[in-house]
Amino acid sequence: MIELILASSNTHKAEEFSELFDSKIVIVRPATKKLDVVEDGLSYFENALLKAQAYYKEFKTPVLADDSGLNVQALSEELGIHSARFGGDGLTDKERALLLLKKMEGKSDREAYFTCVLCVYLNEKEIFYFEGRMNGQVGYTYRGEGGFGYDPAFIPTDGGGELTVAELSEWKNKNSHRAMATGLAQKFFSQRS
Question: Is residue 127 a contact partner of residue 52, using CB atoms and an 8 Å limit?
Answer: yes
- What's the number of domains the chain is made of? 1
Torsion of CA 93, 34, 123, 187, to 10 degrees: -40
Q: What is the pLDDT of residues 27-66, one digit of tens each?
A: 999 898 999 999 999 999 999 999 999 999 999 999 999 9
Question: Is residue 64 a contact partner of residue 4, using CB atoms and an 8 Å limit?
Answer: yes
Q: Is residue 98 helix, strand or coil?
A: helix
Q: Give percent of the chain above pLDDT 70.
A: 98
State the DSSP H helix or E strand holding residue 193, giving kind and residue range, or none if neither.
none
129: domain CATH number? Answer: 3.90.950.10
Q: What is the pLDDT of residues 88-120, one digit of tens each?
A: 989 999 999 999 999 999 999 999 999 999 999
Q: Which residues are catalytic?
A: 67
Q: What's the CA gap between 156 and 146, in Å, rounded?
A: 14
Q: What's the CA gap between 39 and 47, in Å, rounded?
A: 5
> What's the pLDDT score for residue 146?
81
Question: Is residue 123 a contact partner of residue 144, using CB atoms and an 8 Å limit?
Answer: no
> What's the pLDDT score for residue 4?
94
Distances (CA, A) of 117 to 11, 80, 162: 19, 12, 26
| Structural domain span for residue 162 | 2-192
Q: What's the CA gap between 65 and 176, in Å, rounded?
A: 17
Question: Is residue 166 a contact partner of residue 151, using CB atoms and an 8 Å limit?
Answer: yes
